[in-house]
């Protein structure tokens, strides 16, 4: 509501709507998608931006490890649920905010429900690798119908991703998260609106608007397809 009020004050006449969504609940994701599709049957741009980094193991309402469930799986379901409205736009864009930390990521398909000992950095890196793989596989699967997809590293943005407590926020800034949210949004806005980048669909961008190869695992097409299939199965069973 605060963001909506701020935008309305800065852009007179802007048409803004607010739809609630809890990414830790797949039921909430489905309800949100239904609301959006009913009110807006055409979606030109979807930016999957939300993320968290809990220090202690947490589970979503559906029993998934929180970082995997929120940072990847809920965004996967939201995108898939909104697909009819996206494709109705003709040349829709899906932008997935990942992180350079995906370079440290590996996929442990036996950890998605928190079965393994929890390491916050390990879980974060895995979820960000999922973001990059999802963007690549989404682009591959929709290469023939006009949908464009990218992932990106926004830079070290000083958000509340590690929590809103003073200690956590201070620690996050001490490790180098200095960038403003406005600066951190630059690559997302670029991918959502720039001309002449259609040929890079599926690519991973850095905070300087440059295409980067990403990690070796993030370029593994078989791994991307396996993650997609696993994600489909997990959301179907929840």
Which amino acids are annotated catalytic? 124
In this structure, the number of other CB atoms found within 10 A of the CB of residue 77 comes to: 22
178-183: long-range pairs with CB below 8 Å, 24+: 179/154, 179/155, 179/207, 181/157, 183/155, 183/157
For the chain, what is the total number of helices (H) and then of strands (E)? 10, 5
Residue 96, helix vs strand vs coil: strand
Whole-angstrom distance, CA of residue 64 vs CA of residue 204:
26
Query: What tokens were used for 169?
Result: 């926020």
Rounded to the nearest angstrom, the gap between the alpha carbon of residue 56 and the centroid of all alpha carbons in its chain is 21
């Amino acid at each position: 509501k605060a963001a909506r009020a701020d935008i309305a004050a800065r852009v007179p006449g802007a048409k803004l709507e607010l739809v609630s969504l809890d990414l830790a609940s797949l039921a909430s994701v489905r309800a949100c998608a239904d609301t959006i599709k009913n009110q807006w049957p055409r979606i030109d741009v979807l930016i999957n931006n939300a993320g968290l980094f809990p220090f202690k193991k947490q589970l979503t309402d559906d029993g998934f490890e929180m970082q995997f469930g929120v940072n990847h799986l809920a965004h996967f379901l939201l995108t898939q649920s909104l697909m009819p409205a996206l494709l109705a736009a003709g040349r829709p864009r899906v932008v997935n905010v990942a992180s350079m930390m995906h370079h440290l990521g590996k996929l442990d398909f036996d950890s998605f429900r928190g079965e393994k000992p929890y390491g916050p950095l390990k879980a974060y890196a895995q979820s960000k690798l999922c973001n990059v793989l999802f963007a690549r596989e989404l682009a591959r699967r929709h290469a023939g119908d006009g949908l464009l997809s990218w992932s990106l590293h926004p830079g070290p943005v000083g958000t509340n991703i590690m929590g809103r407590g003073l200690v956590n926020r201070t620690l996050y800034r001490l490790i180098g998260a200095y960038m403003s949210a406005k600066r951190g949004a630059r690559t997302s806005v670029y991918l959502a609106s720039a001309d002449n980048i259609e040929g890079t669909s599926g690519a991973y961008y850095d905070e300087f608007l440059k295409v980067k190869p990403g990690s070796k695992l993030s370029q593994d097409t078989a791994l991307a397809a396996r993650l997609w299939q696993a994600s489909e199965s997990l959301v179907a069973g929840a």
